[in-house]
């Protein structure tokens, strides 16, 4: 199977064969991790950067009172902790939602990629800026959308992101997040997530059973929550604009 990082980045940058070879090489060293285990913890200053090759992971912050905020979901092709290469210290933790395979990349290798491989540097810029855009969208999920809309929005986002790495079919995918996790994504209670999910089910917008989410009418769900995929920047770039 093809490397999900290359697959993802090639959506926006035309790599040379050499670029591809470099990236393949960089992902050579892998490490499995069990569901529920932490990949890296807040405050760590590791010497390696991790990349998800397979499985689903998530970033989270833990509060004084024990509360937890999930701040990102990571699918194959996503970097876990590019920050540590440049910032040094993790300001949050990362855990595995499902069993994962990670690529383990020395910090120096990342710095070398950014300095000596312009197309790879640019592709990594792109990936980071998309992550930032996703965070902005999540902020509006919590801040502006109703509970049901926020859930629907997350479901739409995951559909597209999983599709883009071949981990979802046209309208369904295995849901990596439990109700408890969804609650911590949206800053609400699992009890309320449960009731909101029931409302979405009764409206015929989703089918969620046995940890598999099916969206009977994707366009209807998108319409319901005002989902605009622009922030994911999934499609290849278009010609230059005028300004």
User: Quick one: which segment of 31-39, 62-70, 169-177, 214-222 binds a second copy (CB under 8 A)?
Assistant: 62-70
Bridge-based pairing state of the strands 93-96 and 48-54: unpaired
Give the DSSP H or E segment for 57.
strand 57-62
User: Quick one: which segment of 153-161, 165-173, 183-191, 230-238 binds DNA (CB under 7 A)?
Assistant: 183-191
What DSSP state is assigned to residue 199? H
Residue 38 phi, psi dihedral angles, 5° rounding: -85, 140
CA dihedral sign of residues 162, 166, 169, 171: positive
Closest CA to 179 of 149, 224, 209: 209
For DNA, the binding residue among 160, 188, 218, 234 (CB under 7 A) is 188
Bridge-based pairing state of the strands 68-74 and 100-106: unpaired
Q: How far is the CB of 214 from a second copy (least distance, A)?
A: 26
- Rounded CA separation 204/180 (Å): 22
- By CB under 8 A, tell whether 44 contacts a second copy: yes
- Rounded CA separation 34/101 (Å): 9
Q: How far is the CB of 234 from a second copy (least distance, A)?
A: 11
- By CB under 7 A, tell whether 212 contacts DNA: no
| DSSP helix/strand/coil, 33 | strand
For a second copy, the binding residue among 1, 17, 64, 219 (CB under 8 A) is 64
Give the nearer residue to a second copy in terms of CB position, either 118 or 166.
118
- By CB under 7 A, tell whether 225 contacts DNA: no
Q: Which of residues 146-175 bind DNA (CB under 7 A)?
A: 146-147
- By CB under 8 A, tell whether 138 contacts a second copy: yes
Give the nearer residue to a second copy in terms of CB position, either 130 or 167.
130
Give the nearer residue to DNA in terms of CB position, either 66 or 239.
66
For residues 96 and 50, the answer to whether their CB atoms sit within 8 Å is no
For a second copy, the binding residue among 11, 35, 61, 99 (CB under 8 A) is 61
What 87-90 contacts at long range (C-beta under 8 Å, 24+ apart), as own/partner pairs, is 88/45, 89/43, 89/44, 89/45, 90/40, 90/41, 90/42, 90/43, 90/44, 90/45, 90/46
User: Quick one: which segment of 3-11, 31-39, 154-162, 230-238 binds a second copy (CB under 8 A)?
Assistant: 230-238
CA 77 to chain centre: 9
Tokens representing 238 are 């278009």
Contacts to a second copy by CB under 8 A? 44-48, 59, 61, 63-64, 67-69, 71-72, 82-83, 86-89, 91-92, 111, 114-115, 118, 121-122, 125-126, 128-133, 135-140, 142-145, 184, 186-187, 226, 230-231, 233, 237-238, 240-243
Contacts to DNA by CB under 7 A? 146-147, 178-180, 187-192, 194-198, 210-211
């Amino acid at each position: 199977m093809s490397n999900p990082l290359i697959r993802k980045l090639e959506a926006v940058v035309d790599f040379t064969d050499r670029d591809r070879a470099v990236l393949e090489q960089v992902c050579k060293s892998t490490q499995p991790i069990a569901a529920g285990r932490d990949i890296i913890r807040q405050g760590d200053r590791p010497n390696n950067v991790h990349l998800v090759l397979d499985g689903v992971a998530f970033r989270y912050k833990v509060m004084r009172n024990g509360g937890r905020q999930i701040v990102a979901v990571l699918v194959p092709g996503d970097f876990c902790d590019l920050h540590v290469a440049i910032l040094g210290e993790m300001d949050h933790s990362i855990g595995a939602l499902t069993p994962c395979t990670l690529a383990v990349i020395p910090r120096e290798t990342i710095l070398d990629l950014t300095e000596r491989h312009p197309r790879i540097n640019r592709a990594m810029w792109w990936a980071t800026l998309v992550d930032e855009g996703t965070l902005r969208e999540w902020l509006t999920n919590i801040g502006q959308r109703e509970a049901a809309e926020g859930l629907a929005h997350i479901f739409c986002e995951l559909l597209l992101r999983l599709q883009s790495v071949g981990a979802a079919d046209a309208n369904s995918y295995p849901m990596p997040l439990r109700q408890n996790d969804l609650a911590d994504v949206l800053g609400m209670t699992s009890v309320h997530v449960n009731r909101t999910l029931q409302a979405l089910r009764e409206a015929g917008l989703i089918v969620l059973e046995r940890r598999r989410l099916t969206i009977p009418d994707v366009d209807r769900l998108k319409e319901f929550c005002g989902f605009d995929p622009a922030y994911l920047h999934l499609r290849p770039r278009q010609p230059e604009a005028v300004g």
